[in-house]
Amino acid sequence: MDGGGELILRQVARLARPHAELDLALLWGDAAAASIDAPFDEVRTLGFPANLRAGTAFAHPRAMRDFQRWIDERRIDALLAFSFPIAVRAAHIAARNALPMAWFWQQSFPLFHSRLAGAKQRASIRLLRRADCHIVSPTREGIDQFAGLRHPARRLHLIRNGVDVGHFAPTATPAADKGTLRSRLGIPDVDLVVACVARLDPAKGHDTLLEATGLAARSGVSVALLCIGADPERGGSYGETLQRRVASLGLEERVIWAGHQADVRPWLQAADAAALISHEECAPLALAEAGAAGLPLIGTRVGGIPEIVRDGETGLLVEPRDAADCAAAFGELARDAALRRRLAAGALAAVRKDFDSATTHEQWSQLIEALLESTR
């Protein structure tokens, strides 16, 4: 389970606590188990193999029997799944026991990438439909995809990944104070400071960001790139490739690898814009947080990104893997302070309207109550 999944799980646990006893089954070992047991009455790890292969063929039926036995012992009222493999496994149990079930979808389409991807996807959706599964999507794009796969509209729910808008609220920072903050964080004096909050993963497009920064420099626009949450020293061969590219582009003083930060707000406050140019994405919290911090956004036309990066309203959309397009966006923002202010105001307004955690908490509460009501 990634950080976003753990955050949502904790949120749902807090909301469900007034309504029911809460038990958590981890269908395979998870390092996060120790950190997420507090909101639950019981946390148990069941012995599911993470992948179905020939070597795990016998372990899977045994794990399904253990899962059924756990359901029977605890007299479970509802199932809530947080990943696609778990949802498929839980759907068998839900259908067999007539249990209400919901799956929080947090990935990109297609659901499979193998040779038989289309057939597997259709079979999985049929199973979820037979279990009468509620599917919760954080994006309109996801809702449309599942509707196209003929999942019942009454079982599709749009609940955004919400952020605490007040926590990230921008402050009117005098230029001198912002300069001091940048100096403390080691940010050079440039035309545009761009923050990217993302783990180091090829899908997040750090390589394209580096190329765009180099292209912008050659066109006379100096950009400092703040890579928060990314540490190439721990990124294996991909991290080494990025470090070599930084050196070849002469960007050693312009790219800051900030690594994991418990509090990203100072970094966002030091930036002029935020960028996430993934070529595979669902609904990134990082862009909503940056919008809540009052930054103009740069994002790709991928997944749910255009639902928060609304071209010309909250930010600028670019094509995935297109460094020249991204560099052009850098130049446009660097040269036009009025545009930055207008897009920043639009991003803040959009987050307050559509991504405020107060709204998403209420939506989750309503869904949980509906699930539990159906068992009474």
Per-residue pLDDT of the chain (376 residues; tens, 9 = 90+): 445 566 677 777 777 777 677 777 777 655 455 567 777 888 878 777 766 565 666 777 888 888 888 888 888 888 888 888 888 888 999 999 999 999 999 888 887 777 777 888 888 999 999 999 999 999 999 999 999 999 999 999 999 999 999 999 987 667 668 889 999 999 999 999 999 999 999 999 999 999 999 999 999 999 999 999 999 998 899 999 999 999 999 999 999 999 999 999 999 999 999 999 999 999 999 999 999 999 999 999 999 999 999 999 999 999 999 999 999 999 999 999 999 999 999 999 999 999 999 999 899 888 888 887 776 5
Nearest to 10 by CA among 43, 45, 36, 30: 36
* Residue 357 Cα to chain centre, angstroms: 14
Cβ neighbors of 116 (< 8 A, separation 6 or more) are none
Q: Which secondary structure element, helix H or strand E, spans residue 327, and what is its range? A: helix 323-335
Same domain, 121 and 241: no
At 211, which CATH number? Answer: 3.40.50.2000
309 contacts 355 by C-beta, under 8 angstroms: no
Nearest to 206 by CA among 300, 309, 314: 300
SS3 category, 373: helix
Same domain, 229 and 210: yes
Same domain, 139 and 197: no
pTM over 0.85: yes
Same domain, 181 and 298: yes
Same domain, 250 and 222: yes
Domain region containing 298? 165-354
Angle, alpha carbons 339-343-349 (nearest 5°): 150
SS3 category, 130: helix
Number of domains the chain contains: 2
Task: Determine the length of the chain.
Answer: 376
Label residue 231 left, alpha or beta by phi (over 0 means left) and psi (-120 to 50 means alpha): beta
